[in-house]
Amino acid sequence: MATAVGRALARLEPLIVEAGTGTGKTFAYLVPALLSGRSVIISTGTRTLQDQLFRRDVPMLAKVLGLPVKVALLKGRANYLCRHRLELTLQQGSLLGGERGVAQMLERVSRWAATTPSGDLAELTDLPEQSSVWPMITSTRENCLGQECPQFSRCHVFDARRAAQAAEVVVVNHHLLLADLALKDEGFGDLLPGAEAVILDEAHQVPDIAAQFFGQVWSVRQVQILVRDVVAELAAAVVRSPAITGELSIVEARLDDLRGTFPGGAGRYEWANLPEAFLDVLPELETALGDLAKELEGLGAGAGVANCARRSQGLAASLGALGSVPDAAGLRWVEAAMNGLSLHFTPFEIADRLRGYIDARPCAWVFTSATLAIGDDFAHFASRIGLPDARTLHIDSPFDYRDQARIYLPRNMPDPQHPAFAARFIDACAPLLEASGGRAFLLYTSYRGLADGVAALKARFPEPPFPVLVQGEAPREALLTRFRELGNAVLLATGSFWEGVDVKGEALSIVAIDKLPFASPDDPLLKARLEGIRRRGGNPFSEYQLPQAVLALKQGVGRLIRDFDDFGVIVLGDPRLKTKGYGKVFLMALPPSPVITEAAAGAQFLTERLSRLRERLCES
């Protein structure tokens, strides 16, 4: 892998590498990247890997190689304090009096702001991610005043960008990289022009993130923040304008109409299913935002107010564009969540756009992950990122799956839709859980499945002989820490635990997956992709749904063996693996472990391995 990455870097070519767990892929791209002397961006899917690269791997390898490389960690705007907005918020203090806890938190932020050299909000460990303070003290691409800002010379956001531009290796995440490419939100568009190589680890996430950034989003929250900013900027400029107060109330009234005519609770809704009354409010809101922009423009009250005028005009224009975008290009949908409504347009295809960016300048693009291929076939991933002809490489995991693991496919499982499925799945796992004394992840493909699984486990083990943890009882990281500390827990979880989770050792000896992870066909985002494939005459199932589900299953299964000493049993409860023709596509993508169909064989394997481990521990 290192040789292939080195060649891609030398020739400025694209490369796609699937490197199985344990290959040391991080070193295999870092070493040639550091030796190349090129300026490199490394992009990751998770914050954990970003921190690991910046704090541990890159400095350590640079030292070993004797290369004094300048490294920078760059996060999105929303991670840095915006001094200007903090000042505006503090000036506006009396307006915030009603919000509980906000004043105290702002006081805390101000004290920290006076001393922090980086402005990185991660230093404020007691500021919750969902806190309403966050947008009051951070900037967006729209509301940043840039060079016109009175704080520009001491701005943390720009300081971090300058440091990144001066570095030879910049570590970012996929959101920031793609925002930069598409010039959206937190993006500046200045990261890539200076880069000679972009290495994307955890690259399986890239197509979905790209679809978000290459589409359009308009949210009620953006308008609410604009309204608050207008009030703050007028107060800061000591301007009173009854006309603007009037326009603000019209905008707020239209927002109320929008929420009032929205038909349902939290979830994603296709545009075509929205009521006329809701759609009728959109042009009215567009007009209200346009009128507000005109009034603000006419004031001539400084950079802050002028910025608000531009944003109001921009929000009117993007709302208008969303209302009139042709249905042939993508899918429009609305997301209702706790913090409001957002309107989206997702293009059917992102491959051409991504290809356009990749072709735009000479630069090596390396995509790598433990799950990119189906067997040796990279066609699905390569075509999604617009690089069907890119050089590819598959590196097998060095772990001995034949010895370290068993794949258990229980006999006589009912259809996944059968009401007894959840109980039968737990029945199939029970002898293994008893043999290993817990030490398991039970991974579900839906929240409904998870709830049924929790009930079934309780029914089978009214007084479980192992601790039981359930997703949602505590934040993800806290649950994982608890799982590692307990050493014999059983964790029941869905989606977010299928990837990026690394539990080494016997604390995780069983990974049981209830059903094949086909994405929900009701999700508008998935519908957009399937429709795109249909329109160009393709087969959505074989080109998208099946390969996506195979890659997701590989991710889930990959949680089990994380080291040379690990061992365990993978339980796959879905009978379609054997009854459907596509089942063999999944089976062929699994590690080459012996397949068993009797729980007793799995239980015996676990008992033997655990006692062998105990003997070894006693000897040492």
Q: Which residues bind ligand SF4 (CB under 6 A)?
A: 82-85, 139, 144-146, 149, 151-152, 155, 157-158
Please say which residue, 146 or 340, places its beta carbon nearer to ligand SF4: 146
In the complex, least distance from residue 137 CB atom to ligand SF4, rounded to whole angstroms: 9
Measured from the CB atom, is 231 or 451 closer to ligand SF4?
A: 231
Q: Which long-range CB contacts under 8 A does 354-360 form with residues at least 24 apart?
A: 354/210, 354/214, 354/385, 354/386, 355/385, 355/386, 355/387, 356/386, 357/181, 357/192, 358/14, 358/386, 358/387
Measured between alpha carbons, how far apart are the two ends of the chain, in Å?
Answer: 36
Q: CB 130 → ligand SF4: shortest distance, Å?
A: 22
Least distance in angstroms from the C-beta of 310 to ligand SF4: 13
Contact 103/198 with Cβ under 8 angstroms? no
Min dist CB 147 to ligand SF4, Å, is 8
Residue 147 vs 412, nearer CB to ligand SF4: 147
Q: Map tokens 């630069």 to a residue.
A: 363
Six-digit token string for 46: 């998770």
Lookup: tokens for 508 = 């995780």
CB of 410 to ligand SF4, least distance (A): 56
The first and second tokens of residue 552, run together, are: 């997701």
Smallest separation (angstroms) from ligand SF4 to the CB of 148: 8
Contact 524, 346 (CB under 8 A): yes
User: Which CB, 149 or 409, lies closer to ligand SF4?
Assistant: 149
Least distance CB 212 / ligand SF4 (angstroms)? 23
Look-up: residue for tokens 């042009």? Answer: 283
- Torsion angles phi and psi, residue 119, rounded to 5: 70, 10
CA–CA separation, 467 vs 457, rounded Å? Answer: 12
Give the nearer residue to ligand SF4 in terms of CB position, either 142 or 335: 142
Nearer to ligand SF4, 57 or 142 (CB): 142
Q: Which is nearer to ligand SF4, 144 or 178 (CB)?
A: 144
Nearest to 187 by CA among 163, 162, 161: 161
Q: How far is the CB of 164 from ligand SF4 (least distance, A)?
A: 15
Q: Which is nearer to ligand SF4, 161 or 380 (CB)?
A: 161
Residue number with CB closer to ligand SF4 (197 or 230): 230
Task: Tell me how far, at minimum, the Cβ of 304 lies from ligand SF4, in Å.
Answer: 9
If DSSP states are collapsed to H, E and C, what string results for 368-426?
A: EECCCCECCECHHHHHHCCCCCCEEEEECCCCCHHHHEEEECCCCCCCCCCCCHHHHHH
SS3 571: strand
User: Cα(217)–Cα(200) distance, rounded to whole angstroms?
Assistant: 25
Which stretches does DSSP call E strand in 230-383?
267-270, 330-337, 340-347, 364-369
DSSP structural state of residue 497 = G
